[in-house]
Structure 1
């Protein structure tokens, strides 16, 4: 079974660019589920899917499906662009109910220790670039980051800071940390 690492952080911090950098260097990655859910819903004409009660359930279900997908035998490490704990942090931050789907998925990943207990927190770069899926101000993103980090710590994760830097420098820092323990 591969070692699964979570790459997370505040919206707009460069997390997805880092994950893509890891992928370009040959690492196995799993894309962010929330962005996928938002894109699907917006394609169906739902402008702000995060205002719907089943939003976090859809994310948690997609995260479960992606995590349980068959992995080639030669993959030793996978990087996940967020995890169900991120979805829990999102629900807390937005004051959304923690649905049974989300609660069950969080309990499962905790119980089974699906992810390595190290989470890479990509630290903010000083601004947030708005997108169709990201409609949050920089100060709001910092508040969300604090909820995020607290959620991971509450679930027994060690936080590894990924400081603001170029994508190449951030990628190298994550690779160095992982290969030192692999």
Structure 2
């Protein structure tokens, strides 16, 4: 069962692409960090990403979702982010990655849980603030560079999904999914 990663800077439009893929019949897995933030904020922590265990909470949810997908029906699955994104966030925030995060990144790369080609969604030139997304465009662009380099450092190849209208971006992803999923897996 091929597992593909859809990633990019905050506000790049990943969720809109993911929703469209889901509506078109593709299996998708939600981003864990957004859900960890939403729950923490509902429990009274307005900025959970500042906590020392934030990355570990994200990794734990990512692991649960990976396990759940492993029990699902076979087919292509598109994940909104991965533990490599969590490592990039750790680097961006200047926090040393936890042992749990490093172990998980090592596991997913060694096990090849995700396909080596990652859909890297480029920023649209703006960032809409939300309760979970409070990053400026300038900071998002810095994070984008760190994010890209972190994936490359882990041996992934990036397939760029350029800025543009949603349907064009979805077409880029769907065409590549068709081509990439037909390749033999090492």
TM-score range, shorter chain: over 0.9
Aligned to 1:131: 130
In the alignment, which residue of structure 2 is the partner of 1:15?
Answer: 14
State whether structure 2 residue 28 is matched by structure 1 residue 33.
no
Q: Distance in 2 between matches of 1:36 and 1:105?
A: 19
Shift of residue 153 of structure 1?
0.4
Residues 20-42 of structure 1 deviation map (CA, whole Å, 9 limit, x = unaligned): 11101000000000000000100
Alignment-derived partner of residue 121 in structure 1: 120
CA distance in 2, matches of 1:144, 1:130: 16
Give 2:146's aligned residue: 147
Query: How far apart are 1:76 and its partner, in Å?
Result: 1.4
When the two structures are aligned, how many residues end up with a matched partner? Answer: 180
Q: Alpha-carbon deviation of 1:103?
A: 1.2
SS at 1:6's partner residue?
strand
Could you say which residue in structure 1 is the equivalent of 2:57? 58
Structure 1 residue matching 2:132: 3-state secondary structure: coil
1:69-88 → structure 2 map (5 Å cutoff): 69=68, 70-73=70-73, 75-88=74-87
State TM-score, norm by structure 1. 0.96
Give deviations 1:88-129, integer Å, cap 9, x for gaps.
Answer: 000000012211211111111011010000010100111000
Match of 2:42 in 1: 43
SS of the aligned residue for 2:129 comes to coil
Any unmatched runs of 5+ in structure 2? none
Supply the distance in 1 between the matched residues of 2:112 and 2:159 (Cα, whole angstroms): 18
Q: CA RMSD in A?
A: 0.9
Q: How far apart in 2 are the matches of 1:71 and 1:23?
A: 19
DSSP 3-state at the match of 1:110: helix
Structure 1 residues not aligned, in runs of 5+: none
